[in-house]
Chains A and B, each alone.
Chain A
């Protein structure tokens, strides 16, 4: 990544991530941004200290006497002495989210100049996570109202009222903001888009598809 990242998640979004209360699709997008952005990693670590302080303030719940004994016995067992190997870091967050490399994605056509690839979430999880690919110079799916949405630019770029978004940039606009992003005239744009709610994304998709099918 040679260009500098200029658009970051809102502080409130990063806090929710650090607290572990951001829903899975939004969390995945923030994690993919963090892999590219040291400044936000730094911020998240600071925010985790807030959680630790609140955690420290909790009044402890008594533990049954047998539990500690069992736990201390368990660490004496050979299998728990085996150190867990470091988590597999050979794959990027994005590759783990997609379950494959970005280059190997099988795109489905949504309409003229727009393709998507829905990403499977945990079964009980609400929300929506998908890749969107937009041809050069195309108006992007418009973000609607209500609920949180995050967009991470993976390649290419787009521009809207708030500036230019390049690879690594994350758009975290409030739910009351309207904008009309237009993809880069030469490269187009590939984004990872998360929405907190399921139905809402369908609204967006139908909004792009509709004009193209002649309403």
Chain B
């Protein structure tokens, strides 16, 4: 996916964009529906996300960064702005301010594909109660308090389940330092 995004950024390649659209638009629509949008709005937001990808592709420069993560953050910010009507203070990942991974030689860096496989593998092994809160937070867009209400749990329990899940996931998602 990263090569498609780079073709969009560097040569404004409409064919690469069409491939990105086919790959991401249905999932962005599904994401927006899970976040509470009706199907029509969800499709509009999917379209809008992809148009923003087209316009902002130049900001995606990191050759090691994951295109999926970058597009996820655009969809996430758009959702905060449109569905929640709040200010998205979240920034994009792998921005120019972070150069942490620059000193890693290419052969040392975990390839995006390997990393993705590892994250999915760890996610699959999370205990059900931890997997549940992680999904409610990332995909349903619920705050910790909303999760606590939904599951009828103390806020502290929700937070500690999130923490435990992250301890297991951390190694698979962190950059090598």
A contact set with B: CB distance below 8 Å: 10-13, 15-24, 27-28, 30-31, 34, 38, 41-42, 44-64, 67-68, 70-72, 74-76, 80-84, 86, 93, 97, 121-125, 146-148, 174-176, 196
Q: Does B5 contact A (CB under 8 A)?
A: no
- Bound-state CA distance A64–B44 (Å) is 11
Give the chain B neighbours of A23 by CB distance below 8 A.
86, 143
A22 touches B143 (CB 8 A): yes
Listed A/B pairs (23) with beta-carbon separation below 8 Å: A15-B137, A20-B77, A23-B143, A24-B87, A46-B174, A48-B73, A50-B166, A51-B69, A51-B138, A52-B68, A52-B72, A53-B119, A56-B27, A61-B39, A61-B42, A62-B26, A67-B25, A72-B14, A75-B51, A81-B12, A82-B55, A147-B145, A175-B155
- Bound-state CA distance A10–B173 (Å) is 18
Q: A42-B175, A56-B68, A148-B155 are in contact. Are A21 and B135 (CB under 8 A)?
A: no
Residue of A nearest to B169 (CB): A50
Q: Does B59 contact A (CB under 8 A)?
A: yes
A67-B43, A124-B86 given; 5 more Cβ-contact pairs under 8 Å = A38-B100, A48-B69, A63-B25, A80-B55, A148-B155
Q: Does B6 contact A (CB under 8 A)?
A: no
Most central of A27, A46, A49 by chain B CB within 10 Å = A49
A10 touches B55 (CB 8 A): no
Give the chain B neighbours of A148 by CB distance below 8 A.
144-145, 155
Residue of B nearest to A174 (CB): B156
Leading 9 A-B pairs by shortest Cβ distance? A60-B26, A31-B89, A12-B162, A20-B76, A52-B69, A12-B159, A61-B29, A49-B173, A19-B138
Interface size on B, residues (CB 8 A): 79
Give the chain A neighbours of B139 by CB distance below 8 A.
54-55, 58
Interface residues of B in 130-173 (CB under 8 A from A): 134-135, 137-139, 141-145, 155-156, 158-160, 162-163, 166-167, 169-170, 173
Give the chain B neighbours of A75 by CB distance below 8 A.
14, 17, 51, 54
Residue of B nearest to A125 (CB): B86
- Bound-state CA distance A63–B77 (Å) is 21
Give the chain A neighbours of B155 by CB distance below 8 A.
146-148, 174-175
Give the chain B neighbours of A13 by CB distance below 8 A.
159
A63 touches B138 (CB 8 A): no
B123 touches A53 (CB 8 A): yes
Q: Does B34 contact A (CB under 8 A)?
A: yes
Give the chain B neighbours of A146 by CB distance below 8 A.
155
What 1/0 flags go to B29-41 for Cβ under 8 Å of A? 1110110000100
Q: Does B80 contact A (CB under 8 A)?
A: yes
- Bound-state CA distance A47–B58 (Å) is 23
B55 touches A58 (CB 8 A): no
Interface residues of B in 1-23 (CB under 8 A from A): 12, 14, 17-18, 21-22
Residue of B nearest to A84 (CB): B55
Residue of A nearest to B54 (CB): A75
Give the chain A neighbours of B86 by CB distance below 8 A.
23-24, 27, 121-122, 124-125
Q: A45-B93, A68-B18 are in contact. Are A74 and B162 (CB under 8 A)?
A: no
Give the chain A neighbours of B87 by CB distance below 8 A.
24, 27-28, 122
Q: A55-B27, A58-B30 are in contact. Are A12 and B47 (CB under 8 A)?
A: no
B163 touches A42 (CB 8 A): no
